[in-house]
A and B are shown apart, each in its own frame.
Chain A
Amino acid sequence: MPGEAAVLDAAPVRGRSPAAETLGRLLHHRLFVSGLVLFGVILAAAVLAPVIAPADPTRIAMRQKFLPPGAGHLFGTDNLGRSLWSRVIWGAQLSVLMGLAVVGLNAVFGTAVGALAGYYRRLDNVLMRINDALMAFPAILLAIGITAVLGPSTGDVILALAIVYIPRTARIVRSSVIVVREMEYVQAARACGAGDWRILRRHILPNSMAPLIVQLSFLFAYAVLTEATLSFLGLGAVPPTPTWGNIMAEGRQYMVEAPWIIAIPGVALMVTVLGLNMLGDGLRDVLDPRLRVQQ
């Protein structure tokens, strides 16, 4: 990252592009950079899982059960002697992939629904009524309900979280589309005979991006947190696949003699969510100052 900043600083003569300008301001935002570091650690662990955690996270070694964190096993072992290091690292990969999938689905469908509702007034009423109803459900309860009927599996959790959060994303996209729709340059484009699709794609969506990006970074945090909660309740990926939630659920029975089984995945989860929330705050301060929380 410092390298990138240096490159940007080195090219002031031709004037910075708006994107470079924004990136520069982000890299000077303390909260954003702290968030980037925290989330970067988790991301690196997820990507490098096969390299840094070659031990099979599901391999049982009863003779090595309940080893506390130390030299042999960095994070200790659980009740079945499985390496907690491997389990937490592979759990990170699952959390990150799951979060990415939910964010991706939201980016596509949330934008689509929001843009259609915001741009076509007739669709707006129908789509927003459905949206309101879905948003009337408390997020986690609806996710629980959906995973309950679909059955516990990674794919179903992703689907449930997507269904729960897409209305929220759509609403944000919709409100910024409505604002941009009335802008003069959009009216001008329409007067010049540009078609709806072209106006949406070229003019409205790019200018509605800032709140969406901010929303997606917070959404990533919620998704990771909710997935962990679901799998803690036994509604996520089925054991022995390690997720932070089910590691903690299993560790619960042994929390007195082996508290590290709960503590370590919990810290990993908190670092992820904290990092993403900080990224979100930073993005909001820089991209969307109207919504600023911190002065």
Chain B
Amino acid sequence: MGRFFLQRLLTAVPILLMVSLITFGLIHMVPGDPSAALGGLSATPAELAQLRHDLGLDRSLWVQLWLYYAGLLHGDLGRSILLGQGVAQATVQRLPVTLSLSLYALVITLLLGLATGIVGALRQNTLADQAVMMFAMFGISVPSFWLALLMIILFAVKLGWLPTGGYVPFTESPLGWLRTATMPAISLALLQVGLLARITRSTMLETLRQDFIRTARAKGLPGRMVVGKHALANALIPITTVVGIVITLLVSGSVVTETVFSIPGIGQLLTSAILNRDYPLVQGGLLIMTALLVLVNIGIDLCYALLDPRVRYDAR
């Protein structure tokens, strides 16, 4: 098990290297001089030169690359132009907001997605199944920011049940957090619910056809054990892969959701960084989010090993 974890951790290294290299290269995709784009039309040549120096653009590419990786090793991702603050610091500060929102949405996704998918599989080709599949189809087709706007109009403006936006940390007031995070989490989760419901249904259908399910029934086990234990334990293995994808979509989808609901997380930070052409912040934010998700996927692989003894023993 420990060796499996190490192996998996090692495969992440080249990926993270490539990811950081791509992130580094991003700023060199800027057409023309990035500092000119940053400084705007009013900047004087002296100001531009200063900006170029701050960004390190006045040095050779190799030196820049060296400084970039040297910084990375020290957890230094450069300084945000917009905030005048270290990029790593600014991002990490906002991480709990984004994570709490994503976690909330993940819980909704797992509960609703698994439940509807299982119901669809058990009631295959009935009205309930068709309703589930239709719901899932809409789920993967509704733009989340649009759904968010409609929810704001209905629940915040028309009915006044929830605030239109803003954010209260859970540690400050759990109820306040619930009031501010519920609509964002639901609008964020819907796409993933649809995705998970579809996969859960097809995987469960596939699993229920297996020989060992017939064995379980032949033993005289009650239906809930056949489905809830024997089928689910096997279906969870492929479903776990999809949960990895779901987490990626949730975290990256929060960029849009946070903007709509004015939630001060990484997403909102990135959006304002982009609109203000704060390149170091864009780079750093992108890198941190991606690295985080690479780690999440290692965690997913570990779940894989926990769920499937064949994986566990092969890795020995």
Give CA–CA (A263, B147) in the complex, Å: 10
Q: B125–A129 contact, CB under 8 A?
A: no
Residues from chain B with a CB closer than 8 A to the CB of A148 are 273-274, 277, 279, 282
Per the CB 8 Å criterion, the residue count for chain A at the interface is 47
Q: B198–A293 contact, CB under 8 A?
A: yes
Q: Mark A263-295, 1 if CB is under 8 A from B, else 0.
A: 100100110011001100100000000001111
Residues from chain A with a CB closer than 8 A to the CB of B235 are none
Q: Is B259 an interface residue (CB 8 A)?
A: yes
Residues from chain B with a CB closer than 8 A to the CB of A138 are 248-249, 251-252, 289-290, 293
Q: Is A134 an interface residue (CB 8 A)?
A: yes
Give CA–CA (A138, B202) in the complex, Å: 25
Q: B146–A266 contact, CB under 8 A?
A: yes
Q: Is B153 an interface residue (CB 8 A)?
A: yes
Q: A235–B124 contact, CB under 8 A?
A: no
Q: Which of B145, B251, B279 has the most CB of A within 10 A?
A: B145
Q: Considering only CB atoms, which chain A residue lies closest to B201 in the complex?
A: A293
8 Å CB contact of A269 from B143, B150, B255, B274: B143
Q: Considering only CB atoms, which chain A residue lies closest to B34 in the complex?
A: A149
Among B1-9, B18-26, B42-50, the stretch in contact with A: B18-26
State how many angstroms separate the Cβ of A154 from the closest Cβ of chain B. Answer: 15
Of residues 143 through 169 on chain B, the ones whose CB sits less than 8 Å from some CB of chain A are 143, 145-146, 149-150, 152-153, 157
Residues from chain B with a CB closer than 8 A to the CB of A105 are none
Q: A274–B145 contact, CB under 8 A?
A: no
Of residues 94 through 138 on chain B, the ones whose CB sits less than 8 Å from some CB of chain A are 124-125, 133, 137-138
Of residues 20 through 78 on chain B, the ones whose CB sits less than 8 Å from some CB of chain A are 21-23, 26-27, 29-31, 34, 37
Residues from chain A with a CB closer than 8 A to the CB of B274 are 144-145, 147-148, 233, 235
Give CA–CA (A137, B26) in the complex, Å: 13
State how many angstroms separate the Cβ of B254 from the closest Cβ of chain A. Answer: 10
Residues from chain A with a CB closer than 8 A to the CB of B152 are 255
Of residues 237 through 283 on chain B, the ones whose CB sits less than 8 Å from some CB of chain A are 248-249, 251-253, 255-256, 259, 270-271, 273-275, 277, 279, 282-283
Q: Is B294 an interface residue (CB 8 A)?
A: yes
| Chain B contact residues: helix, strand, loop or mixed | helix
Q: A292–B202 contact, CB under 8 A?
A: yes
Q: Is B81 an interface residue (CB 8 A)?
A: no
Q: Is B140 an interface residue (CB 8 A)?
A: yes
State how many angstroms separate the Cβ of A249 from the closest Cβ of chain B. Answer: 9
Residues from chain B with a CB closer than 8 A to the CB of A68 are none
Q: Which of A144, A145, A252, A277 has the most CB of B within 10 A?
A: A145
Give CA–CA (A142, B279) in the complex, Å: 13
Q: Is A24 an interface residue (CB 8 A)?
A: no
Give CA–CA (A257, B169) in the complex, Å: 31
Q: B149–A252 contact, CB under 8 A?
A: yes
Q: B18–A133 contact, CB under 8 A?
A: yes
Give CA–CA (A232, B289) in the complex, Å: 21
8 Å CB contact of B29 from A150, A229, A270: A150
Give CA–CA (A292, B150) in the complex, Å: 33
With A132-B18, A229-B256: A277-B137 Cβ-Cβ less than 8 Å: yes
Q: Considering only CB atoms, which chain A residue lies closest to B138 in the complex?
A: A274
Q: Is A212 an interface residue (CB 8 A)?
A: no
With A146-B26, A277-B141: A141-B201 Cβ-Cβ less than 8 Å: no
Q: B252–A149 contact, CB under 8 A?
A: no
Measured as residues with beta carbon below 8 angstroms from the partner, the interface class of chain B is: 35 or more
| Chain A contact residues: helix, strand, loop or mixed | helix
| Total cross-chain contacts (CB, 8 A) | 138
Q: Which of A136, A274, A292 has the most CB of B within 10 A?
A: A136
Of residues 127 through 164 on chain A, the ones whose CB sits less than 8 Å from some CB of chain B are 129-130, 132-134, 136-142, 144-151
State how many angstroms separate the Cβ of B295 from the closest Cβ of chain A. Answer: 11
Q: A132–B137 contact, CB under 8 A?
A: no
Residues from chain B with a CB closer than 8 A to the CB of A256 are 153, 157
Q: Is A199 an interface residue (CB 8 A)?
A: no
Give CA–CA (A252, B150) in the complex, Å: 10
Give CA–CA (A266, B141) in the complex, Å: 11
Give CA–CA (A139, B270) in the complex, Å: 15
State how many angstroms separate the Cβ of A110 from the closest Cβ of chain B. Answer: 18
Q: B282–A149 contact, CB under 8 A?
A: yes
Q: Is A92 an interface residue (CB 8 A)?
A: no
Q: Considering only CB atoms, which chain A residue lies closest to B293 in the complex?
A: A138
Q: Considering only CB atoms, which chain A residue lies closest to B157 in the complex?
A: A256
Give CA–CA (A145, B286) in the complex, Å: 7
Q: Is B205 an interface residue (CB 8 A)?
A: yes
Residues from chain B with a CB closer than 8 A to the CB of A141 are 252, 255, 270, 286, 289-290
Q: Which of A134, A248, A252, A266 has the most CB of B within 10 A?
A: A266
Q: A232–B141 contact, CB under 8 A?
A: no
Residues from chain B with a CB closer than 8 A to the CB of A149 are 26-27, 29-30, 34, 279, 282
8 Å CB contact of A229 from B145, B149, B248: B145
Q: Taking beta carbons and an 8 Å cutoff, which residues of B are in contact with A?
A: 14-16, 18-19, 21-23, 26-27, 29-31, 34, 37, 124-125, 133, 137-138, 140-143, 145-146, 149-150, 152-153, 157, 198-199, 201-202, 205, 248-249, 251-253, 255-256, 259, 270-271, 273-275, 277, 279, 282-283, 286, 289-290, 293-294
Q: Which 3 A-B pairs have the closest CB atoms?
A: A133-B18, A138-B252, A266-B146
6 further interface pairs, Cβ-Cβ under 8 Å (given A144-B255, A255-B149): A138-B249, A147-B274, A262-B150, A266-B149, A278-B137, A294-B202
